[in-house]
Structure formats: C-alpha cells, structure tokens
Amino acid sequence: MQKTIQLSLLSVALLSQLNAKDITLAPLEVTSTAIKTDELKSTDAVEIYTQKDIEKAHVQNIYEFLNKETSVITMPSYGNPFVQLIDMHGYGTSNGFLNVVIKVDGRKLNNIDNVPQLLSSISPASISKIEIIKSSGIVTGGDGANAGVINITTKKSNDKDISFYMGTYGLVDGSFYIGHKDKKLAISASGEAQKNNGIRYVDDNGKKDASKFSTGTFNLAYNPLEALELRLGANYSNIDVNYPGYLTKQQYDNDVIQKGAFSVHQKYTTSSINAGTTYDINEALSFKADASHEYKTSDYVPSSGIYAYNYNSAQASFDYATDKLALSLGYNGFFGQRTQTGNKMTKDNNAIYLMSEIYLGKHTFKAGYRFEKVSYKYNDTTKTLDQSDNLNGIELGYNYLLDKEQSLFINYAKGYQAPNIDSFFKADYSNWPNVSYAFNKFINPMKTDSYTVGYNNIKPTNKFKVSLYYIHLKDEIYLDKTSGGYNNTNLDKSHKYGLDLYDKYLINKEFNVALNYNYVQAIIDDEKADNGTIYHNTKLPGVSNHSIKATLNYLPNKYTTLALTEVYRSEAYAADDFANNFSQKQDAYTSTDISATYAKDNYEVFAKINNLFNQKNGLWVQDDAIYPINYTTTGFVGLKLKF
C-alpha cells in the first residue's frame, strides 16, 4: 500500500500537462571552474544548485542535500553520520569518495588517507552555490577527479539570519549567518551547533548513539583598489559521536535499534586558515593566488594513539578571458602529513595546468592539460621508504548551441587517482577500534578514460538535461579481504557506463517537479585476488544500477511551500562481494520525505518528516554484516529569522 501511495503521488506530478506561470527557469552560470561559462554552453555534464535550493530543502547537513536533491549518493560511513561515504558515476560506496574531488571556495577537502571528505564542517546556512561537474574536472581538480568535482561556494552577502529547530530523539540544532558587503569590504561569520540523543543502543546499559558537533567559519574580502582583492578565512569544527557496529541479518530483521557487534566513540577536530588575493592586471587578464593550512585530529576512544594531520596547500593562476578566447595557466600544490604513534607518512602533490576555451558563434571548444607529480615518504622506527609517480590529465570538449534554449556537447577526460597512504598498508581490524597496520607495498595509480555525450534543453518552464558516459579504467584501486587481511590493491581492468537524466518542470504557479534519474553499470573485466580467486565480468559491489530522486513542490499561496520527496536506489552486491556470490545482497534503498514551509516578511517556520513510511535501510558489507541507515521515521520543526 505504501508503494502505491508513493507511485501515485509521483505520477500526478509527472503526468500533469498545465502551463507554468509567474516562475521561470534560465541557464545558470558555472562560476567555480577555471573558466566561467553558463550551463547551456558548457562542454561538461553539470548540475547547479543555488542558495535558494539549499534553503528550501531544510537539510541537517550537506550530505543530506546531496543524497536527496542531486545525482550524488551518500550514506553514513559504517555508522558514522558526520563522515559519510560518497559515490558518483558508479565508483561504489567503498571507494567512491576517493574519486570525487570536493572543494570549498577552492580549498580541497580530500584527505591523504582513506577517510571521506568532512562535509559536516560546512553549515548549509553559509552556502551560496553547489556545482557538480561529472566525469570531468581533472585539469583543475587534479588527483582523484575521475567521477568528477563538487565545488561549494560560500556566501558573500548582506544576509543576517538565525535558525533553530528541534526534533525527534533529542535533536536540537542552531545556526547563524551574519554578513556585510559593500564596494570595498565583504565580511561574514557563520556557525552551527547540533546534538542528538541517539536511536540505536551501543551497549547493554542503555547508552545510545548520541552525537554532537559544532562548526564556525569566518571570511573576509577587502578591495583596497578596484582591481585588487585580498582574502582571509578560517574554519573550525568539532565532532563527538558514538556509533554502533554492524548487525546480523536476523538482528536487523528483528530489532534494528539493538547494539551491534561493537561500538565506536570518535572525537574529530579540524581547524583551517586560508588567505588569497586576486589582481586584475587589465580588463582581460587577472592573477589569483591562494594558500591554506589545516590541522586536524581523529581519536577513537579508547585508542592506541591519535591520528594527527597537517595539510598545506597553495595555488596560483593567470586567467585571460575575452569574447573569443579564455585561458587559465596555473599551479596547484598540496602537501599532506599524517602522524600516529610510531610512524609518519606524507603525500605531496605538485601540478601545473593549462585550460583553454574558444568561442566561435554557436561553437565552444575546450582543451586542457595537467601534469602532476605525486611523492610519498614513510618513516617508522625501523625503515624509511619513498615513491613518486608522474601523472597526466587531459580534457577535450565541444558544445554546439542549437538555439537559445538547446545545446549538444561531447567531452573526453583522461584522469587518474594516486593511491592514498592507507593503500600501502595491510590493516588488522581484529581489535577494533585499535587498528594495527603493516607496510605492504606501493601500488599503481589508477588511470581512467572517460567519454561523455549530452543534450541540454532549458526553457522558461522546463530544464531538461541528459547525458551518456563510458569510462575505461586501468588499475582501479580496491580493498581485497580474501586472504584474511585488509589489503589495498588494483583491479587489472574494469569499465563503467551509464545515463544521467535531470528534469525540472514548472507545471503551473502552484506545482513544480524535479527528477533525477541515474542508470549505471560498473563491471570488473579481469582481476586475480590475493587468494587466487578470478573476477571476470563481475559487477563492482556497492553500485546500484538504478537511482531515482523526485520532488513535487506545491505552493498554495505566495507564503507556503509543501514538498514531497522520494529517493529510491535498486539493490546491489554487498560492499565486499567482488565475486558476486554472497548469499545476502544490499537491499534496495527507499525513503519518502515531506516538508512544509511558511515564509513571510522576515521570518520562516518549517517542519519536516524524514522516512515517512518508516522504511528500513542498511549498508551491507558482508553476509551478516549490516549497518542500519535511515531506518526509522524522524522529524523536526524550526524557525528562521532574517534581519
């Protein structure tokens, strides 16, 4: 009955044939790439989400927005809701995040080890725009940009607001944004604090998976001269989370909130500072430079030692733009170090790139090249080891503007992923969370060839995008557990192909609908595991063939918005099932959410129910190793005040 209700609601939205009024759609500008363009003329498959889109979604964090509103898939990392797994274009839940470069105002969030990007450090209240560049972006994004690049831009505005909400299971959240902008100065401060009493049990004494986090950001931009901008920014985040371990299938079916095989208490802190400048040499040529430092620690309590990270990065570019030609010549440097009791390892990236676009009437041509040297060094009490790789990235693209509303594009990207430092170790998790490592060997970088062809149609009442892609991979990196240990190694040959479809349709002034549909096949062509098992034409585990996200918005008057969102992902092989022979598979994921917003003058009241029909979802790793996610109905109600 629940499925019938969900499908009926979506059918009403998709089959309505009324004309839109008052609200119109238009091409949005892609601003976070080296060369600015609008989405209709882009040679890449892109998704753009504005500040208004993010505010209307009323999400608790950016992971939730990506998972429910975009083509990106996210899910809690083995139970941790604040550090989530990310997948795009079929790279899988295990290693997908390693193949997506994520930047905030140009600062790269990717880690040097196998830890996902910390998107919880960014408050949704501070974001101006999210741009997703799919199967492209290697020239400016660099190491890891195989599935694509997610660029997040924070606000520079005169907005001043505070938001507060309370929800089920002791959820409490408060956030603020205070900004000032004039011709010479843009300054802002934002922050968020959240706590949750927890749902699942982590021990036999009634303790639950409680969590809390806080984050704060400060940004300043000053123009002492019309042609000169000086920038300064800082960010701090603190996370304290208890999360339970996996359940057996019987436990999962009988009582999903019971304690798992173990529990983890993690404390995670990060602080960063960045500075930069932009100087407009003349109307066509400008120079831009930025540098940042980040220090963070991760502590599993109790543990045998704290992981400490020091990251330093620098980037600079000369950018030239006219009506006919745009060029960007740049340098990227990223220098990462992780220390733990008894050992230290570094990963350093140095790269130069050249990106160009030529505009000839209805034709846009893109060509770019990147050279990157990646160097590693490992030290412990007994040995010192080092390794370096020289890598090359290429982007070629073409866009043809059929008319003012339609375009065709095609592109090619040669990408790569230099292994993260964890890839060189064998890990022993038998005494989790005290993990012991033994250096194994340096492994090969992954290399990819990606081909994409697409069509855009952007009318005042309908924004439609479709693209087809094919990716050939050599030495795709994966975690081999067949010999009893945890050993990162390479798949000899693999490939992926799929289809992305996006449609936002303004039915009339009361109704509009947005649909994201993604189809993907991820195939292992040939590989021999540590224990001798041969993988031939098997499917990459953790990849759903079908993903659908649809939202129906109803605006009964100019102050009120009601939204119904449906998220569905088809079943997949469990995360460790490379041979496709486990007895248990990853169940299909489904969730239905509803929200209501009343916004008038300088205040906004909102309420939301997540997983309305109480669907049970989980992350399957192996047989009888299931991490429950989004497994019960939750909700919250809140108030936003604007000044």
CATH C-level class of 2-642: mainly beta
User: Which has more pLDDT, 9 or 31?
Assistant: 31
Residue 24: its pLDDT value, please? 57
276-328 pLDDT, tens digit per residue, is 999 999 999 999 999 999 999 999 887 667 889 999 999 999 999 999 999 99
Question: Could you give the CA distance from residue 298 to residue 309 in angstroms, rounded to a whole number?
Answer: 9
Question: Could you give the CA distance from residue 340 to residue 259 in angstroms, rounded to a whole number?
Answer: 30
Average confidence score pLDDT of the chain? 90
User: Which has more pLDDT, 1 or 77?
Assistant: 77
Residue 263: its pLDDT value, please? 86
Q: Is the dihedral of CA 46, 139, 321, 452 positive or negative?
A: negative
Query: Quick check: pTM over 0.95?
Result: no
Domain ranges of the chain: 2-642
Of 233-247, 436-450, 494-508, the poorest mean pLDDT is in: 436-450
Q: What angle do CA 132, 137, 138 make, to 5 degrees?
A: 145
| Residue 263 · residue 147 · CB < 8 Å | no
Question: Does the pLDDT at position 421 exceed 90?
Answer: no
Question: Could you give the CA distance from residue 185 to residue 193 in angstroms, rounded to a whole number?
Answer: 27
**579 DSSP assignment:** T
- Split at pLDDT 50, 70, 90, the class of 223 is very high
| Residue 165 · residue 397 · CB < 8 Å | no
Q: Which residues contact 388 (CB under 8 A, 6 or more apart)?
A: 373, 374, 375, 376
